[in-house]
Amino acid sequence: MTSEAHDLPGWPKYRVSGWLNRLVARPGFQSWASKFPLTRSRARADGAALFDVVQGFVQSQVLMALVELDLFRRLRAGPQTAETLGRACDVPEDRMRVLLQAAAALGLLKRKRDRFALARKGAALMGVPGLEAMIRHHKAFYDDLRDPVALLRKPDETKLSQFWPYVFGGDVDAGDAAVYSDLMAQSQRLVAEDTLRTVSLKDVQHLLDIGGGTGAFLEAAGQANRTMQMTLFDLAPVVPDAQARFDAAGMADRVTIAPGSFREDALPEGADAISLVRVLYDHSDDTVRALLASVHDALPPGGRLIVSEPMGGGARPERAGDVYFAFYTMAMQTGRARSAEEISALLIEAGFDQVRCPTPARTYVTRVVTAVRPI
């Protein structure tokens, strides 16, 4: 070790930490630590947490089976036996019992003698818009994670890159657009809810939502500010469903739908605020830089930008952004889950100031960064 390394801030702490980690990694240490009175509670807790990581893939597949067999809804009417549910789902009784027992162990169901009932966590799952659709969609993600090392080495093609073709630019089939727009719209309600908890739109006269799909976020924003004019800018195939949404919401007279691609077309002008909701993490840094420059130019001096999407934790890694969304965007083969600090740096580079990163309500739903075009 060089003398310079010993002069690094915090070096003694890391030297002690390194020594401790080497000790913990020795064969037999965990066995000893789990018995020694002063270390056994920590050793057992660490062991249980590690086993949860090891078995995580089984837990997610148990959840997939529960959703695929529609067991949460089947149990809404009341407790049922494994025999009854197995017969209804064409699954042998003994195997249905294994699934139900696993669901109860995960807190999704609860067991009452020989019957199984919906637990609070299972009921909550049904109340999250789009969650069951996303769980079903995970089949493609599972395929890409079958060989995680191959994914890390950047394969030529992945299942998720085929599912989300719009991120690569070019034309998108209307049928494909409808599938992913519906999936995004279902879960967009939670994102809109947390975004609007964090950011007030009461002073906004005209909001432009870029890449807003069928308009789920704009619908929620329009309900939060009932005098605000709005513009939706997204690919042409989503226009009919977006128009139907705004017609049904009674907002058609307040919303202009401008079909186009931010890669190729000029952004609509006239808005004093622009939102990018779950847009940046789909794209490469070069695409993001170009988009942010266009957004900066489209806003008037003093105009505000709102970025809302899942983000990594940066210097303090966190599970949603740095595990799930980091690997999800990797499997998409474009974009990445950037930290709020990285997005802030990109905004400053594009010419924005007054960059703010409000405390998020639920990091697994979204985080928000706001900025202003200087006056």
Residues 284 and 278: their CA atoms lie apart, in Å, by: 13
Per DSSP, the residues of 15-29 read HHHHHHHHHHTSTTH
The pLDDT of residue 134 is 85
For 148-372, the fitting CATH number among 3.40.50.150, 3.40.50.620, 1.10.10.10, 3.40.50.300 is 3.40.50.150
Given a cut of 70, the residues of the chain with pLDDT beneath it are 1-36, 38-40, 43, 164-186
Structure tokens at 117: 């009932």
Question: Residue 138 contacts by C-beta under 8 Å, 6 or more apart in sequence?
Answer: 60, 64
Model confidence over 55-98: pLDDT tens digits? Answer: 999 999 999 999 999 999 999 989 999 999 999 999 999 999 99
The pLDDT of residue 321 is 94
Class of domain 56-126: mainly alpha
Question: Residue 373 contacts by C-beta under 8 Å, 6 or more apart in sequence?
Answer: 296, 299, 300, 301, 302, 303, 304, 305, 351, 352
Of 193, 200, 141, 115, the residue nearest 331 (C-alpha): 141
* Residue found by looking up tokens 């199984």 in the block: 116
Return left, alpha or beta for 124; rule: phi > 0 is left, psi -120 to 50 is alpha, else beta: alpha
pTM of the model: 0.83
Per DSSP, the residues of 146-184 read SSHHHHHT--S--HHHHH-GGGG-S---HHHHHHHHHHH
The pLDDT of residue 140 is 86
Return the exposure string of 296-308: e unless at least 16 CB atoms fall within 10 Å of the residue's CB, then b.
bebbeeebbbbbb
The pLDDT of residue 26 is 66
**DSSP letter (8 states) at residue 106:** T
Model confidence over 153-187: pLDDT tens digits? Answer: 999 889 888 776 555 454 544 554 455 556 666 67
The pLDDT of residue 208 is 98
Taking the domains of the chain in order of start, what are their residue ranges?
Answer: 56-126, 148-372
Q: What are phi and psi of 150, to 5 degrees?
A: -65, -40
